[in-house]
């Protein structure tokens, strides 16, 4: 079975071809140090169901786990950096089923690794924070038009999750077209944000915290 395509119709209609794990790892190894840096941001503009993003998350969480095993991290420190890691991963995907599968895949892996390490001590709030961040970071949209597909009249917005100390996170939303389009600036988040939010503790990131 060819795992690089779902159907010939999807290939013809959308050019959908998935990258196999060997190629994913070979490409990511070219920037290996960045994939293992917790705060290093990655944006996949055609993320599919997350073949690249899941491997980036795996590498980042492996670093967090190693620090726990070396007794350099408490559970709270692991949770902080695991949320930081997942907040650094972004994807835009044209097809709704792929975007949904990508979110579920990333959250599933995050939850699996977290519960394996801490078992009954796991906090539901940590998983909820990860889930909410993924709902914002994995976007059903068209990276070429800068528009959302699920809400065609809306521009794609990218959320910057700034970890500012004492467990607090400062969220700022930016218009994707200004970040990477004709108004491209010197850095991904160097333009003025379209919307800013009050700082929130990383274990309290959820829809109600942002008035949604």
pLDDT digits (tens, 9 = 90+) for 35-60: 999 999 999 999 999 999 999 999 99
Asked if residues 195 and 210 have their Cβ atoms less than 8 Å apart, the reply is no
- The conformation of residue 72, written as its DSSP 8-state character, comes to -
pLDDT at 179: 81
Using DSSP bridges, classify how beta strands 138-142 and 89-93 pair: parallel, antiparallel or unpaired: parallel
pLDDT of 8 higher than 60: no
Give the Cα separation of 69 and 119 in Å (integer): 15
For all residues of the chain together, what is the average pLDDT? 89
Q: What are phi and psi of 61, to 5 degrees?
A: -70, -30
Positive or negative: CA dihedral 17, 18, 23, 25: positive
Positive or negative: CA dihedral 133, 163, 202, 70: positive
Residue 33 is assigned to a structural domain of this protein? yes
Asked if residues 202 and 83 have their Cβ atoms less than 8 Å apart, the reply is yes
| Count of the separate structural domains present in the chain | 1
Percent of the chain with pLDDT over 70: 86
Residue 7 is assigned to a structural domain of this protein? no
Residue 149 is assigned to a structural domain of this protein? yes
Residue 2 is assigned to a structural domain of this protein? no
Q: Which residues pair with residue 165 across a beta bridge?
A: 168
Asked if residues 109 and 117 have their Cβ atoms less than 8 Å apart, the reply is no
Mean pLDDT of 181-188: 56
Mean pLDDT of 147-159: 95
* Element housing 20 (H / E): none
Give the Cα separation of 150 and 103 in Å (integer): 15
Residue 187 is assigned to a structural domain of this protein? yes
Residue 31 is assigned to a structural domain of this protein? yes
pLDDT of 9 higher than 90: no
pLDDT at 3: 53
The whole domain housing 56 covers: 14-210
Asked if residues 50 and 101 have their Cβ atoms less than 8 Å apart, the reply is yes
pLDDT of 108 higher than 90: yes
End-to-end CA distance of the chain: 43
pLDDT at 178: 82
Residue 9 is assigned to a structural domain of this protein? no
Residue 3 is assigned to a structural domain of this protein? no
């Amino acid at each position: 079975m060819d795992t690089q395509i779902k159907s010939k119709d999807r290939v013809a209609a959308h050019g959908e071809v998935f990258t196999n794990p060997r190629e994913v790892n070979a490409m990511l190894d070219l920037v290996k140090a960045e994939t293992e840096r917790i705060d290093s941001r990655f944006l996949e503009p055609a993320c599919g169901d997350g073949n690249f993003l899941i491997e980036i998350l795996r590498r980042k969480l492996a670093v967090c786990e190693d620090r726990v095993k070396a007794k350099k991290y408490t559970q709270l420190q692991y949770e902080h950096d695991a949320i930081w890691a997942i907040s650094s991963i972004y994807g835009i995907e044209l097809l709704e089923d792929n975007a949904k599968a990508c979110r579920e895949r990333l959250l599933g892996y995050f939850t699996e690794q977290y519960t394996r390490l801490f078992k009954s001590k796991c906090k539901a709030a940590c998983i909820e924070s990860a889930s909410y961040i993924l709902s914002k970071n994995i976007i059903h949209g068209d990276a070429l038009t800068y528009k959302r597909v699920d809400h065609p009249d809306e521009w794609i917005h990218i959320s910057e999750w700034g970890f500012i100390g004492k467990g607090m996170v400062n969220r700022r939303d930016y218009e994707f077209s200004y970040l990477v389009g004709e108004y491209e600036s010197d850095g991904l988040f160097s333009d003025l944000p379209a919307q800013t939010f009050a700082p929130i503790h990383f274990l309290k990131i959820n829809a109600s915290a942002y008035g949604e």
